[in-house]
Every structure is written in structure tokens, then in C-alpha cells.
Amino acid sequence: MNRCLAVVVVLILLLWAVTGAVADTITIDGDDSDWIDPDSETNDPNGDVNDGGDPPVFLPEYDIDWTYYSWDASDGTANFMSTTIDPISDAYGADLVEIIINADDDETTGSPNYHDAVGADYYLTWSLDGTKGTAYDYGSLNAADWYQWVGDQSTGFFGEITSLNASDIVIAYGDEGTDYSVIEASINPSLFGSPDAFTWGMYLDNGTTASDDASPADYSQRGYTPEPTTLVLLPLGLAALGVWRRRRDA
């Protein structure tokens, strides 16, 4: 009876681990249908983006609604996504996206204040000038740029890193019908040190003097490389299975 129970427990652990590994396979294409079980999410407050006029006009297409993070175990990438309240209308020519990362989760290192992100070590930025629903890898037309903080917090600066492989960064955005827009990015975690855990946030600049949006406002959303459940439970289940087999054969 005890042996049967042990086998059941082991199988549950393995099933849980494998399920976690295959559930987060992300394709960067400006579509959110494959974001089934993200590792973290933030519901951003709405109604805080306007055109700066008098009276101000609300800009729901540049208002972040949700941000999500997911580790893709199939290719070992860190994936970031946001949705807006309304589809982005391309009304402004200078709109851009930035994903800001505090890789060591330490506010005493890195940038002292980048878009109100204290301790930022890296950021990814690109303009929303490409074709919706089209993925762009590093070095291609409409591709993103990658920056790293260099030096100490008081005198350092963000420097652009250009020695990247094409697959290290992939970006895309698109519309979910007439409901909202999706902004996605995939980053090779080695670019920011592959930390076990980090914090991040997304900054959406609408390209005018109007208010911009950041989610979360304090850039405190969690990210993991890799997603912890999968890589902890899988070896745990395999180890338990090995112990059971040795005891059975003894």
C-alpha cells in the first residue's frame, strides 16, 4: 500500500512539472492566445493617460491594462507582454515601448531613476512602427535596442549593447480584433545575467507631451529564469522515482 502511494505521489509530481513545462510555450506574434498560464501578472489602473489638453482627452489606446511575464521552457526565453484598453491607433508617430529590468532586485545599484524605475540595470526599447502581427528579431527592420547600466549609481549611464544574436530579442505587437492591442517581447535571459528572480515593468510612451503609462508604476512585477515550479518539481519527482525503484529492488 505504501509503495502504491509513493508511486502515485511521484507521478503527480512529474505530471505537475511536465505540465508546467509545456503550458508556457510563447510565440511572439502580437497575439495573446498562447498566454494561458503566465508566471506573473499586474492589473494596471486605468484612466491615467491623456493628451495633456484642457480639458484632457483620455487615450485608452495608450493606457496599459495588464502586464504579464512567462518563462518559456521550450526555448529558455523570458517573455513579456502587455495589453492596452483599446487598440493602438497609430495616431502618433513617435510612440515606443520600453521593458525596464532590475536584474538583481537591488535599488542601490543601477540607474538612480529611469522613468521612476530605481535600480534599473537594463532596458529594451522599440518604436511601434512595424506591421501589426509581424515579429521582428534583433537587427531587422523595426527591431528593438538593448541597453545596460554601466558604472555606479551616482555617475553611471545606460550604454547600448549591440553584440547580440538575431534570436536574442524578438518583438511584436498586434490587435485582438477591435478590443485591445497586445505588445510582446522575448529576451534571451543571458542578456541580463539569467537571475533566478528579478523585477520589471513596461513603459508605454505615446510619443507626445501627453502623460505616458508604466505598469506596474513601481516596476515591481516579478520574473523568473526559469519558472521555478517546473525545474524544482521535475528533478524532485525523478529523484523520488529513483528512490522508490532502489527500495523495490532491494
Average pLDDT over residues 152-178: 96
Question: What is the structure's pLDDT at 238?
Answer: 58
Query: What confidence tens digit (pLDDT) does each residue in 91-136 have?
Result: 566 689 999 999 999 999 999 999 999 999 999 999 988 899 999 9
Question: What is the structure's pLDDT at 204?
Answer: 95
Residue 66: name the closest of 167, 176, 145, 171 by CA: 176
Percent of the chain's residues with pLDDT above 90? 65
Residue 191 has phi, psi (to 5 degrees) of -65, -25
Query: What confidence tens digit (pLDDT) does each residue in 186-229 have?
Result: 999 999 999 999 999 999 998 776 789 999 999 999 999 875 55
pLDDT category of residue 31 using cuts at 50, 70 and 90: very high
pLDDT at residue 54 greater than cutoff 90: no
Query: Higher-confidence residue: 49 or 21?
Result: 49
Question: What is the structure's pLDDT at 19?
Answer: 47
Question: What is the structure's pLDDT at 16?
Answer: 47
Query: Higher-confidence residue: 172 or 233?
Result: 172
How far is Cα 236 from Cα 14, in angstroms, rounded to an integer? 8
Average pLDDT over residues 83-89: 92
pLDDT at residue 232 greater than cutoff 70: no
* Domains in the chain: boundaries: 1-24+228-250, 29-226
Question: What is the structure's pLDDT at 14?
Answer: 47
